[in-house]
Copies of this chain bind each other. A is one copy, B any other.
Amino acid sequence: MAFQCVQNACLIGHRSSKMGKCMAERKLKNMEEFAAASGISRPTVSKYFNDPASVRKTTRQRIEKALEEFDYRPNIFAMNQNRKLTKNVGIVVPYLADPFFTEIARRMERCCLEAGFRPTLYSSHGQQHLENEILDSLRSLKPAGVLLAPLGRASDKRVIEKFCEDVPTVLFDSNIDGIGEAFVGSDNFSFVSQTVDYLTRTGESPCFFEMSTPANPNANKRRTAYLQTMERFGLEPHVVKVDGEGWAFEQIGRDGALRMLKAGGFPTSTVLCSNDRLAIGLLSACYDHGLRVGRGEGCALRVASHDDHPFSQFTCPSLTTAAHDYDSVSSHAFKTLNTLIEAGGRFDQREETLFAAHLVLRSSA
């Protein structure tokens, strides 16, 4: 109790000392008051907050001067209540604990903020019911648009389709044919052809290491690309599938690789992993098994992969991988959404944009 008094006294002290600095900064409680204080009518002020470029330059300057002078921010709930289109944007990723999605989401967030939108980030945590709930709850936010990376195999496609009918949505990372007005992602063929090509030029061509029931359609595209590329080269493909469900890819990769190694090893001396997280698990298995990975003399296995996961430069050895064009994917996804919003939520034709990978050579292959 005594403590509390001292604290309050202290805080009051702070407050009054701050008052001195910002005498002019009166708190205005609504737009009416702010309009009066700035000498502009309320509807015009309202128009300004909706879109600053929609008012005359001199008016804009007067409002912005008042904005510096007074402490006023429009009530966000009242704003969105009657507005046909809010400035809210939802960003939904399937699994935020994967730093790949964190990176993409961060960039998208930035794009939104710079364009004057209010982004909100959601993660489905790998679970269908959460994805559905997120979309449901997103709907009630009346968002101007949504950037959605679906779970993939685990998604309830009917729910997503219905959502995309109601809310302007750009899919990214994981495509669902025909759903959403646009898709922005990476060109899986470009990933795989580059890694297979490189590995084949510099040593034995790779087997393909993947989950037997991948979470995500990209995995299927990558396997197909592997098979095609090997065929083009006139080489015999080997696909190694490991068991495991869900999004704990490292664990699945590790467990699967350990089983392989105990059962006699991989069919080839080069392994191409479907994605970096599987590769991280595989590398950890190799390490524990005493198998030296890399392209040097003492190395028994080469390992390469796809994604350029933020941690892949710190694996042992560092991971040779095909990198997403993070910046292009995120900024183009946002641009597409912005265009879609301005076009009223519909495109004449569904847009699909894929960005090529670039090979990142490190030590593992």
By a beta-carbon cutoff of 8 Å, the part of chain A in contact with chain B is 1, 3-4, 7, 11, 14, 73, 75-78, 80-81, 96-97, 99, 102-103, 105-106, 118, 120-123, 125, 137, 140-142, 161, 165, 178, 250, 254, 280-281, 283-284, 287-288, 310-311, 313-318, 348-350, 363
**The one of B4, B97, B288 that contacts A102, using a Cβ cutoff of 8 Å:** B97
> Can you show 18 pairs from A to B with CB atoms below 8 A apart?
A3-B349, A4-B348, A75-B140, A77-B78, A96-B96, A96-B102, A96-B106, A97-B99, A97-B106, A118-B137, A121-B121, A280-B314, A281-B314, A284-B313, A284-B316, A284-B318, A287-B317, A288-B317
- Indicate the member of A106, A284, A316 with the most B CB atoms within 10 Å: A316
Whether B315 and A73, one on each chain, are in contact in the complex, defined by CB atoms closer than 8 angstroms, is no
Q: How far is the CA of A77 from the CA of B131 in the complex (A)?
A: 22
Whether A363 and B178, one on each chain, are in contact in the complex, defined by CB atoms closer than 8 angstroms, is no
State the Cβ distance, A363 to closest chain B Cβ, in Å: 7
Whether A97 and B310, one on each chain, are in contact in the complex, defined by CB atoms closer than 8 angstroms, is yes
Whether A363 and B97, one on each chain, are in contact in the complex, defined by CB atoms closer than 8 angstroms, is no
Determine the chain B residues whose CB is within 8 A of the CB of A76 once the complex forms. Answer: 140-141
**The one of B81, B254, B311, B315 that contacts A75, using a Cβ cutoff of 8 Å:** B81
State the Cβ distance, A332 to closest chain B Cβ, in Å: 21
Whether B125 and A106, one on each chain, are in contact in the complex, defined by CB atoms closer than 8 angstroms, is yes
State the Cβ distance, A98 to closest chain B Cβ, in Å: 8
Q: How far is the CA of A4 from the CA of B141 in the complex (A)?
A: 28
Q: How far is the CA of A310 from the CA of B73 in the complex (A)?
A: 40
Determine the chain B residues whose CB is within 8 A of the CB of A314 once the complex forms. Answer: 250, 254, 280-281, 283-284
**The one of B1, B80, B250, B348 that contacts A311, using a Cβ cutoff of 8 Å:** B250
**The one of B11, B78, B123, B178 that contacts A165, using a Cβ cutoff of 8 Å:** B11
State the Cβ distance, A78 to closest chain B Cβ, in Å: 6
Q: How far is the CA of A77 from the CA of B287 in the complex (A)?
A: 54
Residue of B nearest to A139 (CB): B73
Determine the chain B residues whose CB is within 8 A of the CB of A103 once the complex forms. Answer: 97
Q: How far is the CA of A106 from the CA of B141 in the complex (A)?
A: 21
**The one of B73, B78, B99, B284 that contacts A81, using a Cβ cutoff of 8 Å:** B78
Residue of B nearest to A103 (CB): B97
Determine the chain B residues whose CB is within 8 A of the CB of A99 once the complex forms. Answer: 97, 99
Determine the chain B residues whose CB is within 8 A of the CB of A310 once the complex forms. Answer: 97
Whether B123 and A288, one on each chain, are in contact in the complex, defined by CB atoms closer than 8 angstroms, is no
Determine the chain B residues whose CB is within 8 A of the CB of A120 once the complex forms. Answer: 120
Residue of B nearest to A285 (CB): B314
Known: A4-B348, A99-B99, A310-B97. A140 touches B318 (CB 8 A): no
